[in-house]
Structures are given as C-alpha cells and as structure tokens.
Amino acid sequence: MSTGQSVPTSIKATSVSLLNPTPRAASSQTPYTCRLLASIRELDADDAKDLFGDDVEGSRYLEACENAERGTPLRTAMLAVYRADAIVAAAPLVQITQRLDMTFPASVRAVGDMVYKIAPSTIAPPFWCLGTRTSVECPLGFRSTLTPEERDEAFSMLLAGLARHASEARVKLLGLKCLTDQDARWAHGLLSAAGYVRMPTPPTAVLHLPFADEAGYLASLSYKMRKDFRKKIKGFNDVEVEIRHTFEGIEKECIELLEATKAKKRTKTDYGEFSEVPHSYLSEITKALGSRTIIVLTRVDGILTSFSLSMIDRDRFILAYLGMRYPLAQERDIYFLNWITCVRYCLEHRISWLHAGVSTYHVKVRFGCKLQRCWTYFKYTGPVIGPVLRRIVPHIRIDAMDPDLAAFGKDAPYLSPDVATGLPLRPLHNHA
C-alpha cells in the first residue's frame, strides 16, 4: 500500500545514450537515446499523436492526466526513446512510494509496519512505474511505422532507459502498471529478459454486445437475471436520467459521491494511491475529450443520486468511474439503472464492447461480462530484496484480494488474450 507521502527523490529531465542490446544486421550500429521529459507537452504534437493515437486514452487524455495530478503527491514524467533524431517509443511515468508488503497477509503486514517505523524506505521505497494512476491500460506509445521487430527493439530500449534513469536517481523499484493480457502476448518475453516478474492485477470486466436491441441483450442473460432486470426497470419510472458531456454546475457534488463510493469499496479492497482519483480529473478529462465523454446522471425527487463517467473509443464504451449517494442509491437499485442506461447507449450507437471497470465482479458477471486479465510487472535492482521479490512476486495474487474474484476461483470467466475487445491487437513478432 502506498504511504500517501511525497517521494523524496525527484524526477529530473535527463538523457542517456543506449546501445542496442540485441544487435541485428539492420540496426546494430544505430544509436538510441532515452530522454526523461518533464511532460508529454515536451513532445512534438504530431509525434505525441502518432505514438499514442487519437483514441480517448491517447495523447490528449495523457495530458489531461498530467494536469489532474498537479498539486498531488504523485509525480509524473514522460520517458521517450529516440533512434538517431526520430522518436520511436514513449510512455508516461509516475513516481510514488510503494509498500512491498501490500499484498501480504495481515500478520506479515504487522511486521512490515514495525520495520517501516524504523526504516521506512526499506518497506516503502520510491517506485518508478510506467503508466498513469487513472489509465485502465498501460499506455505504451510506438511510432506507427515500426515493424513488430522494430517495436520490440524500441520497447527493450524503453526498459533499458528506465533502468538507467532510475539508477542515476537511486531508485531501485521499477514497474509497469496494468499491462493487458493482449500486450503481454508480445511483451512478456522482453520483460522477462530485462529481469521483470509479474503478478496479476484486478481484471477488467468486459461485456460483448453483438445484439440488435435491448431484448436481445436481456435474452442472453439467465432467466433469474432477466426477471430481476425487467422488475427493476419497471420501478425506474420516477427516476430522472440525464446524459451530458460536462460536469459544469455539478462537479463538487459528483466528487462527494465519488469519495463516498470509494470509501465503501475500500472496506473490501484497498490499493493505496492507485485507488485515489485526483478531484480535478473529472473536469480535466471532459475538457480534453468533449463529446467523447458520456456522463450519466440519475436523480430521485430532484436529488442527484448517482453519476457515471464513461469514454467512447472506437468500438469501446469505457465505464471509468461511478459515484453513488448511499443509502438512497442502494434503496432504489440505481446501480442497475446506470448499467442498463450504458447498455442502451451502446446498443443505440452500435458499440460492441462495454468495458466496465475493476470491481463488483460478481454482479457484472451476472450481467453477462467476461474478465480481461491484466498484469503488473516489477523489478527490484537491490542485491538482497531483488532476488527475494523475484521468488515471491510470481506467487502473489493481487486479484485474489478481491472477494468476488476469490469466490470465483478457477471458474472465473477469463477471456483469451487473443480476443480483441474494441481495439486491434498489436501484431506478434517471432523471437526465435
């Protein structure tokens, strides 16, 4: 778990030169440079768009995430790899403190707490992690013209640059947050070669909607679930539903609902600072993405009862955050209403995949969702703790911290990594 304190080590804009670790005839003499930039704004706008795309979690989204983190303990940067003078890869970087015993049993955490009082950096060292606090997937950016072989080489340079910059800053704990099962198809071998180990993180619930209408969706559910939905839908006649694209006039109230929902979830699972949402995130994201954000509001007798923030991305409807007013929202089954409203929007606009976030899995599976695996990769460069973590981390199950996932056990309905859920899969490269 994060300590919530600011990190003493600063991220400074620097540059290191790298040699190709696996020389090939086509590029063995081509020099690489890895630069640690203070912001995505330091990239050329066209380069940023080419690397991260124009999807909703692309360059504009990443800039909005940076804006939202201003004034918070979390620090951000951008790691960029250049081949000669041309940028070939980049990824956002966050710096926090990370409890190494976050996923351990309470008895072990008690020992960790005692050690932390004496030597805090031993238990909660500075952590440099590729990704952002709020991105669902690790945003790795590559030049669109790269072949799969060149992409793999650029990714290896990105990892080498991260290690070099972290070493100069005396940071030993490195990671990649939320690498999807799809990206792990091509990246896992490269990460393993660089000394990283992985553990599963909470998966994303995804719903496939190849249906012509709402009746088709309901017919895909179990008899009991269909009956529940139809009964609840009849009871929503006096609940007002509004769909809009900004938080103007309601931002403060929505933040209060978000905090209330987050506090309720924390009684089940707590992932430290990675669970936190900067309060300005709501306005920054809607400002950056405009009509590609969908805000669903519900009101009972004029009282704002819930809000949800979603983003539309090609063939994906990404349900990012939900805030509800307790106990009123529970009494009126508002969660069901928000869900069916999002499903109706997808069906009306022919969006085939609804990405429904990383909680309440039992309910979402009853709603027809499957689970998309996600991984966090770690590397600790210290001579003592590093080997220990390499042995322990592969056996840690962060996803088992969630009671719903633990209840599913081996019957959890995971998707194959070969299934594209609204965006095309990156091509594989044969390393043989």
> What is d(CA 174, CA 161) in angstroms, rounded to the nearest whole number?
12
> What is d(CA 105, CA 71) in angstroms, rounded to the nearest whole number?
33
Ranges of residues in the chain whose predicted pLDDT is under 50? 1-9, 22-27, 116, 267, 432
Predicted pLDDT of residue 96: 78
Predicted pLDDT of residue 365: 96
In sequence order, what are the beta bridge partners of 299?
A: 240, 304
pLDDT digits (tens, 9 = 90+) for 7-32: 334 556 666 666 555 444 444 567 89
Predicted pLDDT of residue 239: 95
Token pair in block for residue 325: 């007013």
Which of 280, 418, 421, 275 has the alpha carbon at shortest distance from 359?
275
Predicted pLDDT of residue 267: 45
Estimate to the nearest angstrom the gap between the alpha carbon of 307 and the chain centroid. 20
Q: Mark out the alpha helices in 143-267 (DSSP H runs).
A: 148-168, 181-193, 214-219, 223-234, 251-266
- Residues 6 or more apart whose Cβ sits within 8 Å of residue 296: 241, 242, 243, 306, 307, 308, 310, 338, 341, 342
Predicted pLDDT of residue 303: 96
Q: Which domains are seen in the chain, by residue range?
A: 14-201+375-411 (3.40.630.30), 205-371 (3.40.630.30)
How many CB atoms lie under 10 A from the CB of residue 388? Answer: 12
In this prediction the pTM is 0.86
Report whether 69 contacts 76 (CB < 8 A).
yes
Token pair in block for residue 196: 């990283």
Predicted pLDDT of residue 380: 85
Predicted pLDDT of residue 15: 67
Token pair in block for residue 193: 């070669």
Left if phi > 0, otherwise alpha if psi is -120 to 50, otherwise beta: which for 238? Answer: alpha
pLDDT digits (tens, 9 = 90+) for 213-258: 999 999 999 999 999 999 999 889 899 999 999 999 999 999 999 9
In sequence order, what are the beta bridge partners of 97?
A: 126
